[in-house]
Amino acid sequence: MLTIGTLAKRTGTKVQTIRYYEQIGLMPEPGRTDGGQRRYGDAELDRLAFIRHSRQLGFPLDAIRELLDLSDAPDRPCHEADEIARRQLKLVEQRMERLKALHSELKRMVKECSGGNAAQCRVLEVLRDHSECLTEHDQIGA
Amino acid sequence: MLTIGTLAKRTGTKVQTIRYYEQIGLMPEPGRTDGGQRRYGDAELDRLAFIRHSRQLGFPLDAIRELLDLSDAPDRPCHEADEIARRQLKLVEQRMERLKALHSELKRMVKECSGGNAAQCRVLEVLRDHSECLTEHDQIGA
DNA sequence: TTACACCCTCTAGCTACTGTAGGTTCAAGT
DNA sequence: ACTTGAACCTACAGTAGCTAGAGGGTGTAA
C-alpha cells in the first residue's frame, strides 16, 4: 500500500497534482485509511505513470483520458489511439515550424544589436517595425 | 481617432484583448467619447503593434512591459533589451530541443502501430512503458 | 427615427497545475 | 503510553493570457 507521497516520488508528480487528477476524474478515488489518508496499489501507480508519460509527450488531458479508456478496453480497435498520436505529432511539427521562424528572427535581432542606447537599439526597432517580420498574424504561444 | 474595433483589426488583436491589456496596464487608458467609448490615436496603434509583435515572438507580457519601458526612454542603454531578447532566444532553443525529442518518440510510436486492437497497440504500450522513453522527468508543455 | 453594427462593464471560464492556511494522522523513538 | 515531526487532509486562491457570454448602451447612416 502506497501513500500519495510515495506515488508522487515514484512518478515525478507533485502530491497536489495527483489530488487534482483525482478531482477531474483522471485518477480513481483510492481507498483510505481509517484516518482518511489515501492508499494506492500498483494499478494506480501504472495509471499515473501512463498519465505522466503522456503529459511529457505533450498530450492534453482530454487526449489522455481517451487513451486511458482505450487502454482499459483491450478489445477496441487501435486506430483511435493511433489517430490521437498522429494528431499530437502534427501539433508538435507545427510548433517546431513556428519555433524555427521565431528562432531566426530572434537571432537576427540579437546579432544586430551593437550595444548603443535604446534609441538605436535593433531589438526594439525590429519589435516596432512589423513589416520586417516573417511571421504571420496567427496564434501565439509557440 | 480610431475605435477599439479598428485598432483590433489593424493589429490582428481581439477587442477583448485590448481591453485586457488596458486593465493590466500594458496599454494606457485612452480618451473616451461623451458616450464612454474608447478612441485611440496613432501612438496607441504603434504601441499595440509592438506588443503583438513581441507576443508573436513569444515574449511574456512581463518582458514586453520592460521592453516598452526601454522603448519609451531612448537614452537608457540598450543592453537590457538585448538581454531580454537573448533570454527569449535561449528559451526558444530549449523548446526546440524538447520538441525534437518528443517528435522522434511520437514518430516511433505512430510508425510502429500496425492497426490491431488496443491490446497490441504500440502507441499505448509505449505510453505505458516509461523505460523505453528518452525524455526525462522534467517540465512539460513542450 | 429607426435599424443595426458596434461599443460598454462585469463576471466566469479555459489549461494544467501550484501554493497557502489551518488542521489531522501516522509511524518511529523513548 | 506518549511525544515528536514528517506527511497527510480539505478548501480556496492564484498563475498566464486571454476568450466568451450576459445584459445593456452608443454612433451613424438611410
Q: Is A128 in contact with B50 (CB distance < 8 Å)?
A: yes
**Lowest-confidence pick of A34-38, A82-86, B2-6:** A82-86
Q: Do A85 and B123 touch (CB under 8 A)?
A: yes
- Do B88 and B53 have their domain in common? no
Domain count, chain B: 2
Question: Does the interface ipTM go beyond 0.85?
Answer: no
Distance measured from the CA of protein residue B47 to the C1' of nucleotide C7, in angstroms: 22
Q: pLDDT band at A130, cuts 50/70/90?
A: low
CATH code of the domain containing B53? 1.10.1660.10
Phi/psi zone of residue B100: left (φ > 0), alpha (ψ -120 to 50 degrees), beta?
Answer: alpha
- With respect to residue A105, please indicate whether it lies within any of the assigned structural domains: yes
List, for residues A50-90, the tens digit of each pLDDT value. 999 999 888 899 999 999 998 988 888 888 888 888 988 99
According to DSSP, the residues that pair with A47 across neighbouring strands are: none
Q: Is A109 in contact with B85 (CB distance < 8 Å)?
A: yes
- With respect to residue A142, please indicate whether it lies within any of the assigned structural domains: no
* Residue bearing cell 501612438: B43
List, for residues B6-59, the tens digit of each pLDDT value. 999 999 999 999 999 999 999 999 999 999 999 999 999 999 999 999 998 888
Q: Is A67 in contact with A107 (CB distance < 8 Å)?
A: no
Residues spanned by the domain of A14: 4-72
Most confident of A104-113, A124-133, B107-116: A104-113
**Joined grid coordinates for residue B119:** 491490446
Chain A residues close to B105, C-beta within 8 Å:
57
Q: Which protein residues have any CB–strand C distance under 7 A?
A: A 14, 16-17, 20, 33-37, 55, 60-62; B 3-6, 8, 15, 19, 36-38, 140
Q: Which of A72, A97, A119 is at the close of a domain?
A: A72
Min Cα distance B25 → chain A (Å) is 19
- With respect to residue A59, please indicate whether it lies within any of the assigned structural domains: yes
**Minimal Cα distance from A139: which residue of B?**
B56
Nucleotide nearest to B58 (CA to C1'): D17
User: What is the predicted pLDDT for the residue at B76?
Assistant: 87
Q: pLDDT band at A142, cuts 50/70/90?
A: very low
- Do A66 and A10 have their domain in common? yes
